[in-house]
Amino acid sequence: MTTLTLMPSLLAGTVTAPSSKSMGHRFLICAALAQGESWIRDVSFSKDIAATRRCLEALGATIMEGPGEKGRKTYFVKGQPPHQKSPLMDCGESGSTLRFLIPLAALDGNCYNFIGEGELGTRPLTPYETLFKEENLHFHYGSERHFPLSVQGPLKSGHFVVPGDVSSQFISGLLFALPLLQRDSTIEITGSFESQSYVALTLSALSTFGVHVFQDEPRLYRVLGGQAYRPYSGSVEGDFSQAAFFLVAGALGKGISIRGVKTSSLQGDKAILPILQRMGAKLEEGPESLTIHPSSLHGIRIDASDCPDLVPILSVAAALAKGTTEIIHAERLRLKECDRLKAMASELTKMGAHVEERPDGLIIRGVPMLHGAGADSWNDHRVAMSLAIAATRSDGPVILTGSESVQKSYPQFWQDYESLGGKIK
């Protein structure tokens, strides 16, 4: 485990956001399923993207990596419908990889063994377990926190009922696989439908690769069978979930410009912009970048149902805002790499913030300044990055353990942090 000593220092300058991890996964998956050759450019390398690549290779795709600048790579992908090259699906710590690829592994009738690290084995899979068992398909948990999980198809088309409040990744996973079945299928969402914007990202990636899904009703997707993914070459857009860390740092610090994110994006985490504006931030959109000016923030009520990944960094903004912030509909935060509500409440409290944990969110009363303290990343990249931004506005050093967890989504984070004036001892 790596420990960093973060010295207080207000951040300023310009940074380029890494490419969207969510779209990176989706483009690689679609390219791997397309009969032909695709070039996926500007993919920011991360452990999660590496996991998806590994598993797609196990499903039969040929993937080669070309050089790129600042941790960005071009992937050459020669795809085909799933055809087992190896039964081992090593998902690392990536929930997206695990949940997107289970239905794809169930297409070719072979048995696949899914393994993973960290808390991945404890993250819910029950919606798939139920669907597979209903269809009499093999879905068998191993003894070590679910792993190895063995799964075997063949998955058949039909009507799939999926709860909307566990993870949208189950819906996305089915949406990738069902177009490759012979007959038509439908997916019905029950309960509250959270992280919907991520399903919109999946539909957009599918359509980029020539696959079409009809949304007949807000909670009903109709997927025609017998479709084929078409190869596509293009770049992956910038990541609002990652830009959010430096947008908050800019508001709390001396102003930051972010390059590489587009406000026309479908990413749900684009919500960081209106949320920060509602908190009083001054934002400016230029032709090349988005600029956030030093701002005095105030507390607001934030509904996190469509942007769960923003909560850790929003809790830092709230901890330093005037008045009270209420974050609601965030119960799914407990099912991520760690219990993110508990983690942020615990670590920010150590730094002198006033955070009350609620079953579905956080109530945060802002303070003018945080204190230096020992803080832990809970092996969670978004907790580590959020605490790093909190450290910029503390009155003494923050000794952060588990700083290597950023490798999961943003290995360049510490370089970018230092380039903006972050001080690491």
Ligand X SMILES: O=C(O)C1=C[C@@H](OP(=O)(O)O)[C@@H](O)[C@H](O)C1
Ligand Y SMILES: C=C(OP(=O)(O)O)C(=O)O
**Per rule CB under 6 A, count of chain residues that contact ligand X:** 11
96 lies in the binding site for ligand Y (CB under 6 A): yes
305 lies in the binding site for ligand X (CB under 6 A): no
Question: Does 167 count as an annotated binding residue?
Answer: yes
Q: In degrees rounded to 5, what are phi and psi of residue 100?
A: -75, -30
Which tokens sit at 239? Answer: 């990541």
Strand duo 256-259 + 13-16: pairing: parallel
Question: Does 262 count as an annotated binding residue?
Answer: no
Choose between 270 and 382: whose C-beta lies nearer to ligand Y: 382
One character per residue 325-364, x = contact with ligand X (rule: CB under 6 A) = -------x--------------------------------
- The site partner of 157 among ligand Y, ligand X, none (C-beta below 5 to 8 Å per kind) is none
Which tokens sit at 397? Answer: 């050093």
198 lies in the binding site for ligand X (CB under 6 A): yes
Instruction: Decide: 30 and 206 in contact? Cβ < 8 Å.
Output: yes
Active-site annotation holder among 309, 376, 380, 416: 309
Q: In degrees rounded to 5, what are phi and psi of residue 339?
A: -80, 95
Instruction: Decide: 385 and 357 in contact? Cβ < 8 Å.
Output: no
Choose between 146 and 332: whose C-beta lies nearer to ligand X: 332
Instruction: Decide: 46 and 410 in contact? Cβ < 8 Å.
Output: yes
For the bound state, the minimum distance from the C-beta of residue 19 to ligand X, rounded and expressed in Å, comes to 13
Query: Burial level of 67, CB count in 10 A (0-12/13-18/19+)?
Result: exposed
Given 195, 267, 305, 386, the residue binding ligand X (CB under 6 A)? 195
Whether 376 is a known active-site residue: answer no
Q: Would the CA dihedral through 403, 336, 261, 280 be positive or negative? A: negative
- The site partner of 168 among ligand Y, ligand X, none (C-beta below 5 to 8 Å per kind) is ligand X
Strand duo 220-223 + 213-217: pairing: antiparallel
381 lies in the binding site for ligand X (CB under 6 A): no
409 lies in the binding site for ligand Y (CB under 6 A): yes
Q: What is the dihedral of CA 89, 94, 100, 103, to 10 degrees?
A: 40
Q: How far apart are CA 230 and CA 222, in angstroms?
A: 20
Instruction: Decide: 73 and 65 in contact? Cβ < 8 Å.
Output: yes
Choose between 176 and 414: whose C-beta lies nearer to ligand X: 176
For the bound state, the minimum distance from the C-beta of residue 38 to ligand X, rounded and expressed in Å, comes to 19
Would you mind telling me the total number of residues written for the chain in this entry?
425
For the bound state, the minimum distance from the C-beta of residue 379 to ligand Y, rounded and expressed in Å, comes to 12
Of 252-311, binders to ligand Y (CB under 6 A) are 309
Amino acid of residue 19: S
**Per rule CB under 6 A, count of chain residues that contact ligand Y:** 9
315 lies in the binding site for ligand X (CB under 6 A): no
394 lies in the binding site for ligand X (CB under 6 A): no
Cβ-proximal residues to 186 (8 Å cutoff; 6+ apart), any chain: 158, 159, 160, 220, 221, 222, 223
Q: Supply the residues annotated as catalytic.
A: 309
Footprint of ligand Y on this chain (CB under 6 A)? 48, 94-96, 309, 336-337, 382, 409
> What residue numbers does the annotated binding site for 3-phosphoshikimate cover?
21-22, 26, 167-169, 195, 309, 336
In the complex, the residues that contact ligand X under the rule CB under 6 A are 22, 96, 167-169, 172, 195, 198, 308-309, 332
